[in-house]
Chain A
Amino acid sequence: MVYMIRFTQVHETFRLAETKALAVLEGIDLEIISYSPTSPFCMVKLPSEEAAKKLLQRSILAKAIYEVWGHGSSYPELHESTKATSSHLWPLYKNVTFKFVIDSFQGSRTNDEQRALIDSFRFLEFEGPIHMKGAQYEFCLAEDWPLGSASLGIKKPTKVFLGRYLARSERDVISKYDLKKRKYISTTSMDSELALVTANITLAAPGKLFYDPFVGTGSFPIACAHFGALAFGSDIDGRSIRGKGKVSLLANFEQYGLTREFGDSFVADLTNSPVRRARLFDGILCDPPYGVREGLKVLGHRDPTRGKTPIFRDGLAHHLDPKFVPPKKPYSFLAMLDDILEFATTSLVDNGRLSFWMPTANDVDQEIKIPEHPSLEIIGVCTQEFNQWSRRLITYRRIPDAEVVASESRQPRVKETGVNANDLNPFRKGYFQGFKPVSKS
């Protein structure tokens, strides 16, 4: 059966990734029939109405799903298509209460036009009463208009659909987790919509264990917890976890009534991780610091010759002082990405997913390549574009060891040399130098 997903027209490159992930999560056979990044209407093939409802129930970027009764590039075509494909369904709705709505994307219709369009479907022979509120069934005329139709004087949509409404998504939940209403956030907290989408793409679900090694104030673990997963998080900066006074990472879970889904939080550096080497997690997701708003640092001294023996003061080891703060040094963002892949390979269960955000310059010459690992299959790359740079959400699947193809082509990454943040992090350097084109002299 053919169904139509009504997406929102935001974060376009994330929409199919999320829907496909939800199909995997729910074990639904999904076939995309037609999709365009410039349209919110996507036609899919699904095994049943139940599957369609299930697919949508926790989607963030879809709004609703419809059973398709007909489609075409004009109303006469839509009428023909409706008669050809759905006439067997009409008698089922002969005596029910119903209503019609019109969903004009990038277009508009006056009330009179709307009524005329709806009346053109008299051939459906619905005899039941029309209830604008509380109708048993809702039918939608969806119109796809070209961008800027009003100013260009375009009078007709390019595509029209008739569908029976089945289910709404969980999109409203975005406002529940809105950062403006969250007690404890920082400058780098991920907005609630993208955090929830990331959790969906990483397949967070009840009973699963999730981990964010750059947890900050907990945006990702909260999104995972919302979907029922037990969420763990760590950060090299203990202050972000502990918070101040009444606000902390844990207090955010309390605010949303998610303490049952709070795994734990601890202070740790991913390059010296205390996590036992075992397949512990179903999903790992993070937004590692890329050194623009926040420095990327790891344990160790900037000067490799220093501090290799414990320091004693007045006969006491300095590092045992409760107020001791271990030295940290700048680290290469690309090396950190490799460390994340390595960690995920060790820690994810088979088919578990890793998702992380990474920035890149929009200028191809300065683009940062997507890191690869023989045990991790790239599932998808979603992009959020800004003016001169963009950030990408990269998602991987942990391939079971028996299926890993040993590739000899994998080349070790050229290590960045240097000790200061700019030398170690080409993205940071480009960002602060305004992404000026690289001269090819």
Chain B
Amino acid sequence: MKVLTLNFLTCAVKACKSTSTSFPLHPKDCEMVSDTIEPNPKLLYNILPRVNWTALLTTVAELGFPELPPNPPTIEELQADEKMTQELHTLLLETQISEGCLVCGNCGHAYAIKEGIANFLLPNHLV
């Protein structure tokens, strides 16, 4: 699962969705892999406004990656900054969690990730 996807997903439990502690999910015991994917700046410009930057900062800290600026770059800043574009491309699209789990900060439920595919199915008592 890509870091971008982690930024798009939260706890599947309905009662958790409205709480602030359920997002972002917290990676635990994660193995990371990185694929080489051809950069696609246009895609990145489109993605950026949809990324929750605060949550991304949390994820980056939890995964132990180099710190990001406290505020998201504007598209103009990104267009002028090739290094930043490449770093965000690597972080959001190339970096993936291959094994491990994602834990909800509200209910504590852990979602397993196996071979890069996260499983968000819930046991009956959480539906």
Contact = CB atoms under 8 A, between A and B. Distances in A.
Sorting the interface of chain A by its residue count into under 10, 10 to 19, 20 to 34 or 35 or more gives: 35 or more
Given A230-B43, A278-B50, A272 B123 contact: no
Nearest to B35: A259
Contacts of A310: 123, 125
Contacts of A268: 12, 120-121
Interface string A263-283: 111111100111111111010
B1 A266 contact: yes
Interface residues of B, number: 40
Contact of A269 (B1, B121, B124): B121
A277 B1 contact: no
B76 interface: no
Interface in B32-52: 35, 37-38, 40, 42-43, 45-47, 50, 52
A265 B17 contact: no
B63 interface: no
Q: With a 10 A CB-CB cut-off, give which of A264, A275, A282 has the most chain B CB atoms.
A: A264
Contacts of A272: 12-14, 120-122, 127
A267 B123 contact: no
Given A207-B45, A267-B120, 18 more contacts: A207-B42, A209-B50, A234-B120, A236-B121, A238-B117, A259-B35, A263-B2, A263-B5, A266-B1, A266-B117, A266-B119, A269-B12, A273-B12, A274-B10, A274-B120, A278-B8, A299-B122, A324-B123
Interface of B: 1-2, 4-5, 7-14, 17, 23, 35, 37-38, 40, 42-43, 45-47, 50, 52, 110-112, 115-125, 127
28 contacts: A206-B43, A207-B43, A208-B46, A209-B50, A236-B121, A238-B119, A242-B117, A259-B37, A263-B4, A264-B5, A265-B117, A266-B1, A266-B9, A266-B117, A266-B118, A266-B119, A267-B119, A272-B127, A274-B10, A274-B120, A276-B10, A279-B50, A301-B124, A306-B124, A307-B123, A307-B124, A309-B125, A320-B110
